Amino acid sequence: MATDFTEETAADAVVESFAPSTDPRLREILASLVRHLHSFAREVELTIGEWEQAIDFLTRTGQKCDDKRQEFILLSDVLGLSMLTETITNRKYGIATESTVLGPFHVVESPVRQLGDTLYPAGTPAPCVVTGRVTSTDGTPLPHATLDVWQANDEGFYDVQQAGVQEIGNGRGLFTADNAGEFWFRTIVPRYYPIPTDGPVGELLKATGRHSFRPAHIHFIVTAPGHRDLTTHMFVAGSEYIESDTVFAVKKSLVVDFKEVSDADQAAKWDMPVPFRHAHFEIVMQPEG
């Protein structure tokens, strides 16, 4: 280990401090992290005051986290790191449905629901039917795949954001696909919404002149035996902010038309009012290995 700690020897000194017994992958990650951090500090000539400000920012980010809010995930999202990690991890799975960020609101266990159940009380504006199918990359249906679904309402709020206004469980459901891998449920067309800006992440967005909005979407976590778990979105085509998602999560392959349906027979088939919206989402799962 270097005994003279200088700008040039600093990173080496830290890396050399790792014990030989350190897990190889952990050593690789930490060594690269240290070298990049030190290089960054030298490049911008980081001052003590600026570093103290950064430590304060990260401290307050942690303090903003609780069982209903994950500010660090939000920070990772707005810096594009969440989607970069997703993209790196999934670049070899070109056939499968593309993955996206988890988001900060998957914090409540979704209630188990039956196919065809509704995620919102009757009479909620913008009624919608979502249908779909889960298959493997070779087109084989995946019977009894599970789909954890959650979304914002027609005003752009999740249930956990409106205690006393919405019931916890609104906009959420844990569904099991049928024998053909098919699923359907009734819900509403979600609205675009701002991510929370009352914490450090909001300060960062304001300081950099960025908006806080996400386009309308429905979240999915899909699992099936013998296949990689999939975390993804279904984005509402034509939604505001579809071209400028503040967390960079939009993939063109995940943008879906929510078509208006005025046919009375179709409405009767799904027990829907006229008119309603219909969206279809094909989900392709990557086999493990």
Q: Is the peptide bond before 127 cis (omega within 30 degrees of 0)?
A: no
Cα separation of 132 and 151, whole Å?
Answer: 17
Which residues, listed in sequence order, are joined to residue 186 by a DSSP beta bridge?
118, 129
Q: Token match 């999202």: residue?
A: 77
Residues of the chain above pLDDT 90, percent: 84
Tokens standing for 278?
């219909």
Q: How far is CA 55 from CA 50, 58, 184, in A?
A: 9, 5, 47
Per residue in 97-121, pLDDT (tens digit) is 999 988 778 878 899 999 999 999 8
Is pLDDT above 70 for 94? no
186 falls in which pLDDT band (50, 70, 90)?
very high
pLDDT class of 92 with cuts at 50, 70, 90: low
* pLDDT per position as a tens digit, 117-176: 999 988 899 999 999 999 999 999 999 999 999 999 999 999 988 888 888 999 999 999
How much is the pLDDT for 93?
A: 65
Predicted confidence (pLDDT) per residue in 63-84, tens digit:
999 887 889 999 999 999 999 9
Q: What is the pLDDT of residue 90?
A: 78
Over 80: is that where the pLDDT of 289 sits?
Answer: no
Residues whose CB falls within 8 Å of the CB of residue 41, separated by 6 or more in sequence, listed in order: 51
Cα distance between residue 116 and residue 24, in whole Å: 49
Query: Rounded to two decimals, what is the model's pTM?
Result: 0.87
Task: List pLDDT tens digits, range 239-267.
Answer: 999 999 999 999 999 999 999 999 999 99
Please name every residue paired with 280 in a beta bridge, in sequence order, or none if there are none: 131
Write down the domain spans for the chain: 1-46, 76-285
Q: How far apart are CA 8 and CA 34, in angstroms?
A: 13
Place of tokens 């449905």: 97
d(CA 136, CA 142): 7
Count other C-beta atoms under 10 Å from residue 57's C-beta: 14
76-285 fold? Protocatechuate 3,4-Dioxygenase, subunit A (2.60.130)
Bridge partner list, 276: 261
